[in-house]
Amino acid sequence: MAKQPRHFLSLLDLNKDELQGIIRRASELKRMQHRGDIHTPLKGKNLGMVFEKSSTRTRVSFEVGMSQLGGHALFLSPRDTQLGRGEPIEDSAQVLSRMLDIIMIRTFEHDKLELFAAHSQVPVINALTDLLHPCQLLADMQTYFEHRGNIEGKTVTWIGDGNNMCHSYINAARRFGFRLNIACPEGYDPNPDILAPAGESAGIVRDPLTAAVNADLVVTDVWASMGQEEEQLARSKTFAGYQVNDELMAQANDDALFFHCLPAHRGEEVTASVMDSQDSVVWDEAENRLHSQKALMEFLLLGRV
């Protein structure tokens, strides 16, 4: 039987050394890119990009990243592929992975992604599911490292929904060795199957101001994720006290950073005063999607970090 490829469906698919190696390599690729170096180790390789949800950063960073590495990327929308007309996921995975060298998927159910990966002969990358968003965490960890150094032993505060980003922060706390305080309204806690194995690394601190005390990094995300649009109004009432504002940032350490995976809604989960402040490094965070995913693709295709 053919050797199973390495996939990146969750941060937990890689060990600590591999993740740290990818982040180091991401910063190196960034310096090379900024210097104008031409680096094309993936010449002749093709990336398939399956998007069942909208995207700006993920689509552009993967497509540009693959092109910078010398390869090619194809955008595959369910609207105009047979995937959207009910061709079985197992069959689609068989066919696509005989033509492509690597595949990224953004979809709703995490199970769908796992099913696809189980039938793929090439590496599959999670480009966001309802459960996890691990690519964003590569960029976030790179960004923290570039601004403040090692995140091990630091305190990170998550404010808002116990969603896919929160879940990936819990996994990151396990792998990178920081403490995660999660402040979310009751009824919006992270999935216990993800939180419980994190042990002391992550825990719920219900009150947002308490959760932010001594934080080295404060992170939030939208109150209603993709697929939850009809809950937007109800959620904006429930989450009203879970806004990252100046009062909350004042609880954190003086040199605390603010992260947001974007897109952001100023006046909802974050005030403009925080989003556009000196503490906020959201544009670096967005740019690092490009460099960290280039490092990830090198790792998965060439076994290199």
Sites of contact with ligand NVA (CB under 6 A): 128, 133, 163-165, 221-222, 225-226, 261
Among 74, 209, 213, 262, binds ligand CP (CB under 6 A): 262
Smaller CB separation from ligand CP, 155 or 293? 293
Amino acid at 265: H
Site string for ligand CP, 211-250 (x = CB under 6 A): ----------------------------------------
Q: Which residues contact 196 (CB under 8 A, 6 or more apart)?
A: none
Taking CA atoms, 298 is separated from 26, 81, 121, 285, 290, in Å, by 10, 27, 17, 20, 12
- Residue 133 contacts residue 261 (beta carbons within 8 Å): yes
287 binds, among ligand NVA, ligand CP, none (CB under 5 to 8 A by kind): none
Contact flag: residue 55 with ligand CP (CB under 6 A): yes
Smaller CB separation from ligand CP, 120 or 136? 136
User: How many residues make up the chain in this entry?
Assistant: 305
Amino acid at 142: Q
Q: Angle, to 10 degrees, between the axis of helix 16-35 and the axis of helix 282-302?
A: 110
Other residues' Cβ atoms within 10 Å of the Cβ of residue 41: 14
Query: Looking at 5-13, 50-58, 69-77, 95-103, which segment touches ligand CP (CB under 6 A)?
Result: 50-58
Site for ligand CP (CB under 6 A): how many residues? 8
Pick out residues in 140-199 that bind ligand CP (CB under 6 A).
Answer: none
Rg of the Cα trace of the chain?
A: 19
Smaller CB separation from ligand NVA, 164 or 243? 164
Active site residues: 106, 133, 136, 221, 261, 289
Smaller CB separation from ligand NVA, 20 or 143? 143
163 binds, among ligand NVA, ligand CP, none (CB under 5 to 8 A by kind): ligand NVA
Contact flag: residue 57 with ligand CP (CB under 6 A): yes
73 binds, among ligand CP, ligand NVA, none (CB under 5 to 8 A by kind): none
56 binds, among ligand CP, ligand NVA, none (CB under 5 to 8 A by kind): ligand CP
Smaller CB separation from ligand NVA, 62 or 305? 62
- Residue 140 contacts residue 219 (beta carbons within 8 Å): yes
DSSP string, 24-84: HHHHHHHHHHHHT----TTTT-EEEEEESS--SHHHHHHHHHHHHTT-EEEEE-TTTSGGG
